[in-house]
């Protein structure tokens, strides 16, 4: 692929499990355009971070069933993505780094007799 796009989406885990991944309930906060990965990914995430910080404190919302105001709070509980996206969010080197996985203790190896700075994970 020559072009990339980085969608920023939210799943509402407060909905029943059988529907919270349905398209009509997914919120798209934006798409970071390509053709290359952004140099400063945080600049695209910062407006969402500001909103989440305000939602942790709470905002007044209206309950139509009870016909009254209540304090709505929301919390960011998980961030997911493929290796390039997560490495960008976590400011890691990524799949060519010395520690390519954020979950396990796999260590990459330097390519023998090479001046390259990338690492690889052997199959055996």
Residue-averaged pLDDT of the chain? 84
- For residues 72 and 35, membership in a common domain is answered with yes
Residue 95 is part of which domain span? 79-124
pLDDT by residue for the chain (124 residues), tens digit each? 577 788 889 998 889 999 989 999 999 988 888 887 788 888 888 998 899 999 999 999 999 999 999 999 988 888 888 877 877 777 776 667 777 776 777 788 887 888 877 777 777 6
E-assigned strands of the chain? 6-10, 27-32, 59-63, 68-72, 109-110, 119-120
pLDDT, tens digit, for every residue of 106-119? 788 887 888 877 77
- For residues 52 and 113, membership in a common domain is answered with no
pLDDT, tens digit, for every residue of 20-42? 899 999 999 888 888 877 888 88
Ramachandran quadrant class, 49 (left: phi over 0; alpha: psi -120 to 50; beta: rest): alpha
Number of domains making up the chain: 2
- For residues 22 and 66, membership in a common domain is answered with yes
- For residues 74 and 89, membership in a common domain is answered with no
- For residues 19 and 70, membership in a common domain is answered with yes
Q: Residues 6 or more apart from 10 whose CB is under 8 A from it?
A: 26, 27, 28, 29
- For residues 22 and 73, membership in a common domain is answered with yes
User: How much of the chain exceeds pLDDT 90, in percent?
Assistant: 29
């Amino acid at each position: 692929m020559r072009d990339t796009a980085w969608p920023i989406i939210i799943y509402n885990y407060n909905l029943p499990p059988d529907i919270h991944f349905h398209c009509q309930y997914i919120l798209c906060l934006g798409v970071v355009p390509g053709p290359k990965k952004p140099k400063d990914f945080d600049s695209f995430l910062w407006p969402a971070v500001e909103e989440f910080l305000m939602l942790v404190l709470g905002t007044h919302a209206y309950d139509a069933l009870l016909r009254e105001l209540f304090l709505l709070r929301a919390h960011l509980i998980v961030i997911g993505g493929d290796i390039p996206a997560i490495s960008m969010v976590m400011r890691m080197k990524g799949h060519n780094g010395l520690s390519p996985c954020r979950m396990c203790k796999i260590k990459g190896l330097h390519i023998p007799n090479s001046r390259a700075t990338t690492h690889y994970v052997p199959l055996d």
